[in-house]
Structure 1
Amino acid sequence: MRKEDKSTIISTIAETVKGYDFFYLTDISTLNAAKTSALREECYKSDIKLMVVKNTLLQKALESLDTDFSELTPVLKGNTAIMFSNTANAPAKLLDKYTKEGVPSLKAAYVQESFYIGANNLKALVNVKSREELIGDVIGLLQSPIKNVVSALQSGGNTIHGVLETLSKK
């Protein structure tokens, strides 16, 4: 590969990393062609970008960015595929689905400005809530007291009405 081609690939990887909030490093080398195709299709449906890269080019692309990604250097061995997403747990859920079959394995992840190294972190990453889920939780918590007040006022109105009716009959 020519030096110009390598620099183009490095800049493409760097721009892609900048364009997404989260990324996962995986090893999909044990997948056959049919399973790799199925994984790519699932990634497309889940709005996840899957890119197979050379480790040295990925390392140079990460070094060219402002963020310090040096914690990921030890896992850049063997075959590496990157899963880019703007939803924190989408790649983890997809990987969890496929890991029940034994492959692909999680090498590392960069989620919410934290590094998760090793496949043992996959369950924790599956449980990370997306931005939309967190907003829904906050809205639910904010609505709960309001619903209680409205409910109390409505039931209180019926009670007062009942007391007034009883008093008027006496």
Structure 2
Amino acid sequence: MNRSEKAEAIAELNQIFKDANLMVVTRQSGLSVQEVTDLRRKVRAAGASYKVAKNRLMLRALEGTSFTALGTLFKGPTAIAYSKDPVAAAKVISAFAKGNEKLSIVGGALGENTLDVAGVQALATLPSLDALRGTIIGLIQAPATKIAGVLAAPAGQLARVFGAYGATEDGAKAA
């Protein structure tokens, strides 16, 4: 890799670090090509990305981003999983690491907050941003539908009373 290629790689990584909300640093030792391909497929399906690069390039790219505290984690065979969704990358990496001992979570960061292994795994247990939005919308809409039901109930009850009265003998004579 010549200087211009390194500069280009650093610029690309720097842009990744600036755009991401969540960064998970992993240590991979002995993963086969098939396993890495499977991991990348799962990460992509969750709306996240997985990248392997030289530690020296990663450290250079971290400069000037909110993830500078992660610099100490880049030792040995490391890779990063990142996403704009605050939990997507953590969920996939955590699930994959449970099933494969060759991949381990070293740490991560959510915005400017540095996370240890337990923090990343705790983040992985949270629902996704879309699931949270759906829950909030459901909670907001529930009172509105209840209010509409309460307001419509008296009119419906009144109509049923008139209908029942009309069905009786007194109602038939009055009509």
TM-score computed with the length of structure 1 as normaliser? 0.81
Counterpart-to-counterpart distance in 1, 2:69 and 2:79: 17
CA distance in 2, matches of 1:154, 1:11: 61
Residues 18-167 of structure 1 aligned to structure 2 (within 5 Å): 18-65=18-65, 67=66, 69-101=67-99, 102-118=101-117, 120-164=118-162
Quote the Cα distance in structure 2 between the aligned partners of 1:57 and 1:40.
21
The structure with more radius of gyration: 2
Equivalences, count? 167
Question: What amino acid is aligned across from residue 114 of structure 1 in structure 2?
Answer: N
1:51 partner SS:
strand
Q: Is the 8 A contact 1:6 1:57 kept in 2?
A: yes
CA gap of 1:165–1:12, structure 2 versus 1, over 3 A, is closer
2:105 maps to a residue whose letter is L
Q: Distance in 2 between matches of 1:162 and 1:4?
A: 81
CA distance in 2, matches of 1:166, 1:46: 57
Moved over 6 A (4+): none
TM-score by structure 2 length? 0.79
Q: Deviations over 1:93-136 (max 9, x none)?
A: 21232122224211222224432122x22331113343322322
1:167–1:38 CA distance, 2 compared to 1 (3 A): closer
CA contact (8 A) 1:88 1:128 kept: no
Further displaced range: 41-50 or 140-149: 41-50
- 2-structure distance, mates of 1:133, 1:60: 36
CA drift of 1:167 comes to: 6.6
Supply the AA of the counterpart residue of 2:137.
I
Tell me the C-alpha RMSD between the 2 structures. 2.4
Query: 1:11 maps to what in 2?
Result: 11
* Residue identity opposite 1:161 in structure 2: A
For 2:108 and 2:21, locate their aligned partners in 1 and report how far apart those are by CA, in whole Å: 11
CA distance in 2 between counterparts of 1:130 and 1:41 reads 18
Q: Aligned to 2:151, what secondary structure does the other structure show?
A: helix
